[in-house]
Amino acid sequence: MRIDVVSIFPEYLAPLELSLIGKARQDGLLELKVHDLRTFTTDKHRTVDDTPYGGGAGMVMKPEPWAQALESVAGAGAAEGASAASGDSASEGSRKPVLIVPSPAGERFNQALAYELAEEEQLVFACGRYEGIDERVIEWAEEHFTVRPVSLGDYVLNGGEVAVLAMVEAIGRLLPGVVGNPESLIEESHSDGLLEYPVFTKPSSWRERDVPAVLLSGNHGKIAQWRRHEQFRRTADRRPDLLAEFDAGSLSRADRNV
């Protein structure tokens, strides 16, 4: 996968050189490039914003630098895609890259969307700042991209960079070979529509608190049953909205008895 990020604060994305994502980049599992939006300005002051039509507080990001930046990275992704060894070049050439715009006015990011986006050949992230990007950029971008405004949650950040860090980590860890043991992706929160069960490690007794005896029993059936029950209990307690969405049809016979 190829990821491009466009921002006026490229240094904000430095954490993507660390840890799991950093190693995936070094191992060639993920190509990630960060671009400074000001590179695509033409005036002496490298201006990226201006006052809003219609008045109001704050500034709006000018359209032209964004169009120049997005045209540049869309081409780069296609070029890389054409030279990529893997996959069918015909399908790679035909798929438009996905442009993700972190925004409080976007569709909600969740694990299902992370899995969906992990299947793409190229993701481009546009980090808005100030009051946002001129809306005409979003409309224009539809020519070159599949455009998806995406929200991390119902709150407002000062810019898209923090949201990009979270989404790139959530998506990147799903790519083949990135996490050491792929099995660890199976039983984590939201992978099956429920919250994950509680976990414990040594010592078995700690400050007068004992690990649930079933986990020390060696009875794998009972352990699986206890864990599943804990998933339902926790989800009902903390995220009843998820239970409402949970596809009861996916319940196995064992689930029905928890």
Ligand X SMILES: COC(=O)COc1cccc(COC(=O)c2cn[nH]c2)c1
Applying CB under 6 A, which part among 101-109, 167-175, 206-214, 237-245 lies near ligand X?
101-109
The reply to whether 101 sits near ligand X by the rule CB under 6 A is yes
Whichever of 4 and 121 has its CB closer to ligand X, that residue is 4
Whichever of 152 and 170 has its CB closer to ligand X, that residue is 152
Task: Tell me which of 22, 52, 104, 193 binds ligand X, using CB under 6 A.
Answer: 104
Name the nearest CA neighbour of 24 among 179, 212, 222, 161. 179
| 65 to 44, 79, 179, 195: CA distances (angstroms) | 13, 21, 36, 42
Applying CB under 6 A, which part among 31-39, 77-85, 146-154, 197-205 lies near ligand X?
146-154
The reply to whether 138 sits near ligand X by the rule CB under 6 A is yes
Q: What is the CA radius of gyration of the chain?
A: 22
Contacts of 244 (CB under 8 A, 6+ apart): none
Least distance to ligand X, CB of residue 41, Å: 18
Task: Tell me which of 117, 132, 147, 167 binds ligand X, using CB under 6 A.
Answer: 132
The residue type at 231? Q
The reply to whether 103 sits near ligand X by the rule CB under 6 A is yes
Report yes or no: 100 and 165 within 8 Å, Cβ to Cβ. no
Task: Tell me which of 21, 102, 141, 167 binds ligand X, using CB under 6 A.
Answer: 102
CA diameter of the chain: 71
Binding mask 147-166 for ligand X (x = CB under 6 A): --x-xxx-xxx-xx--x---
The residue type at 185? L
The reply to whether 65 sits near ligand X by the rule CB under 6 A is no
Tokens at residue 150, please? 């995406």
Task: Tell me which of 133, 147, 167, 194 binds ligand X, using CB under 6 A.
Answer: 133
Helices 161-172 + 19-26 axis angle, to 10: 70
Whichever of 152 and 178 has its CB closer to ligand X, that residue is 152
Report yes or no: 174 and 115 within 8 Å, Cβ to Cβ. yes
- Binding-site size for ligand X (CB under 6 A) equals 18
Cα 150 from Cα 100, distance rounded (Å) = 6
Name the nearest CA neighbour of 37 among 3, 71, 80, 77. 71
Least distance to ligand X, CB of residue 149, Å: 6
Binding site for ligand X (CB under 6 A): 101-104, 128, 132-133, 138, 149, 151-153, 155-157, 159-160, 163
